[in-house]
Chains A and B, each alone.
Chain A
C-alpha cells in the first residue's frame, strides 16, 4: 500500500518538470544567492569580497601629506577612493545635476553631501587644510576631518571611521609616536636614558616622518555628518528622515509581487472551472479580458502600496505627506503596480495550473527580492550582486522609492524631483508593456484552436 503511494507520488513529481525544478533547483538557487551576498563567489574571506565602500575624498589643500593620506585610504581593502579633483564632471552632470536655480555655488562639502545623498558615493571624507596638524591632536584645537555618511547604510559610517584611524596611523607612524611620547612626558614625567634610546631606535625604524607636533593630543579627530540632515535645520526643521522608508519600499515591493501573482491565479481558477471559456463565448475577447484583469490587479497593487506607506506615515513617522514626497510616491506606486500586475498576468498565462503558478511565483519573487534588495540591503552586497539587481523588478522599484524618500535633493522643485525618477519610471513602464505583450502570446492557448 505504502509502496503504491510512493510510486504514484514519484510518477506525479517526475512528470511535472516545474514541480521537479521547484523541488531540486530552488534550494540550490537560493543557496547560491545568499552565499553570493554574504560570502562572495569563491572567496574564503568575507571581508575581502564585500563590496568596498565608494568614498569621495575632498582634500583641504594640495600638501603632500593630504595626498599621502588619500593614497593610504585608497590602499585599504574596504575603501575605493575617488579624489574630488579627479571627479569627472560627467558623473555630476548625468547622475546628480545641481539645481540650476541655485544662486550660490556649492561648497566642496555641500557637493560631497549631495553626492552621498543621491547615492553616487557611499560616503565622503572632507580633509581639513594642514591635515598633519589634525593627526594625533588629542583634544587639541585642530579642525577635524569630516565623514559624510548616508544613514541608509549605517555600516559605512562605522567602517569608514575605523579605516580613517588606521590610515592616520599608517600615514604618519613616527608622528603618532612622537605625539604620544609628548603626552607621556607631559603627564608621566621625563624619559629615562634607556627609554630615550629605545625611542630613537623606533624613530629611525619609522623613517623620516617624525614631525615634531608638540602639544597635540589625538589620533585623528573625525566629525560625522548625516547627509540626510545636513542643512535641514534651516529649511525643514520638523522633518526627520526615517529608516522606515527603506523597509516600506523593500517589503512593500516584495509583497506587491506576491499579491499580484496570487491575483493572477484567478485566471487559472476561471480556466479550471470553465468560467473562462464561458466568458470567451460572450462578446469578450481575450485581449479585453487580460487588459481588464491587469487594470484591476493594478488598482489592487496601488491600494496595497498606499496602505503600507500610509501606515508607515501614521505609525512610524514616515515623511509621506509633503507635496514632493507624495507626488513621487504616487508616480512610483503607479508604475510599480502596473509592472507588478503585468508580471502577475504573465505568470498566470504561462502556468498551466494554480499549483504551477504558486511554485513559480514563489521562486521568482524570492529570487528577485533577494537580489533586488527587499530582503537584504543592497549596500551590504558585493558589487556584482548590486549590478544584478538592475535586472530585477524589485531593484528598480526600490531604487525609485528610495529616490523619493532617501536620495531626494532638497533643492529640487516638484518637476525636477519627478524628472529625477525618470530612469526608474521608464524601466518599470517598459517592464509592464513587455510583460503584457508576452502574456498576450502565452494567452493564445485560451483562444480558439
Chain B
C-alpha cells in the first residue's frame, strides 16, 4: 500500500468509535490437557480492521471458532454489540460473517447458486437476496462468471467468492481466517481492496494472517497471540516502540574477519565472524564513523544492510525464532 494511503488509514483509526463491537474477555479453552486459550482479551471497534497474529498453535483459530460459535469456551465471555453471545451456536450471530480458511463452496454449483445457498442459510431471501447477490457478484468482479461452476474457477476467483458468501447478510463484524492463502499478488491486492471497501462502509474486520508485511500495511491495529494469550496489542508504531524500539539494526558484511578485541561496540554474529550487527538510533551520525573504524582497522566492507523495525521484527522479538508446532 502506498505511504499516503497508509497514513490515511492511521488517521481514520484516530477518529474511530472507541466502543467495541466485539469483545472477548478472559477466554479459556483446554483440549484435554492441552491449553489452547489462556485468558485471551480482545476488543474490536466499529469500523476497525484488526489483525490477529501469532505463530502456529498460538490459539488464533480456536479464538476465531469460539467467536463463530464452533467452540465452547471453558471460561470467559464473548460480547457482540453489547450482547453476550451464546456459546456453541451458529444461530444468534446474524451480525457476524465468517470467512473460513478453506474454500468452503460447492464446486459443482455456480457462483450465483453458491451465493444463493449461503445467503438463504443466513436468513436473506427473495428480492433482498437477489439484490445482495447482484451486489456481491459485482463486488468480487464475478458478474460475468455468475453462471459458471465454481469448480472451474481460478484460486483467486474462488477466494473472492468465498468472502462474498460471508457478507450477503451484511454482517457488522467479519472474521477472516487467512483469506488470501495460496493466491497470487494481484488477486491478493484485489481482495484487500474489496475488504477496504467493506471497511469503508462500516464493517469491522478481524483478520488472521501470516502475511505480516500486509498486515502491517492494511490493518489499523494488531494483536499478537502466543500460548493462548494476547501478548501485545496496539498500532504498529506503538508495538515497535514497546518492543524492539525505533533504532535501526545495521548489518555489515566484511570480506574477512577482524580482531574481535578491537570491536567492543559492534556485536559480532556468533555464527559468522565476518558479520557485524549494531543498533543505531542516529544513522547519519553513527554509521559513517563505524565504517571509518572498520577501514582504519584494515577491514574491508562487502555489504551494508539497514534493518528498519517492522512487524516481523516485533513478531520474532515477541514469539522467538524457534519453530513451534
Contacts and interface: CB of A to CB of B under 8 A. Distances in A.
Interface of A: 273-275, 277-285, 447-449
A279 B70 CA distance: 11
B70 A280 contact: yes
B10 interface: no
B98 A281 contact: yes
Specify which of A277, A281, A284, A448 lies most central, judged by the most chain B CB atoms within 10 Å of its CB.
Answer: A281
A279 B103 contact: no
Given A274-B100, A447-B88, A281 B68 contact: yes
Contacts of A285: 90-91
Contact of A283 (B88, B104, B122): B122
B118 interface: yes
Given A280-B70, A284-B121, 12 more contacts: A274-B100, A274-B103, A275-B106, A278-B118, A278-B165, A282-B122, A283-B91, A283-B121, A283-B123, A285-B90, A448-B87, A448-B88
B72 A279 contact: no
A283 B97 CA distance: 12
A448 to B, nearest CB: 4
Interface string B74-109: 000000000000011111011000101111111000
Contact of A284 (B72, B90, B102): B90
A277 B70 contact: yes
Given A281-B90, A282-B122, A273 B71 contact: no
Contacts of B54: none
Interface string B1-33: 000000000000000000000000000000100
Given A282-B121, A283-B123, A275 B70 contact: no
B179 interface: no
A449 B72 contact: yes
22 contacts: A273-B102, A273-B103, A273-B105, A274-B102, A274-B103, A275-B102, A275-B105, A277-B100, A278-B104, A282-B121, A282-B122, A283-B94, A283-B121, A283-B123, A284-B121, A285-B90, A448-B65, A448-B69, A448-B71, A448-B88, A448-B89, A449-B72
Contacts of A273: 102-105
User: Which 3 A-B pairs have CB atoms at the shortest separation, nearest pair first?
Assistant: A274-B102, A448-B88, A282-B121
A9 B118 CA distance: 40
A271 to B, nearest CB: 11
Contacts of B102: 273-275, 277
B97 to A, nearest CB: 9
A448 B101 contact: no
A274 B31 contact: no
B113 to A, nearest CB: 13
Interface of B: 31, 65, 68-72, 87-91, 93-94, 98, 100-106, 118, 121-123, 165
Contacts, number: 57
A281 B105 contact: no
Contacts of A449: 31, 71-72
Nearest to B165: A278
Nearest to B93: A281
Nearest to B94: A283
Contacts of B91: 283, 285
Nearest to B88: A448
Contacts of A279: 121
B82 to A, nearest CB: 21
Contacts of A280: 70, 90
Contacts of B165: 278
B95 to A, nearest CB: 13
A448 B104 CA distance: 18
B55 to A, nearest CB: 22
A274 B99 CA distance: 11
Nearest to B96: A281
Contacts of A275: 102, 104-106
Nearest to B114: A275
A279 B106 CA distance: 11
B69 A281 contact: yes
A283 B104 CA distance: 16
A278 B87 contact: no
Specify which of A277, A280, A448 lies most central, judged by the most chain B CB atoms within 10 Å of its CB.
Answer: A448
Contacts of A277: 70, 100, 102, 104
A284 B118 CA distance: 10
Nearest to A446: B70
Contacts of B31: 449
A278 B93 CA distance: 13
A447 B69 CA distance: 10
B293 to A, nearest CB: 55
A282 B94 CA distance: 8
B71 A274 contact: no
Contacts of B68: 281
A281 B103 CA distance: 15
A447 B70 CA distance: 7
Contact of A278 (B89, B94, B98, B123): B98
Contacts of A274: 100-104
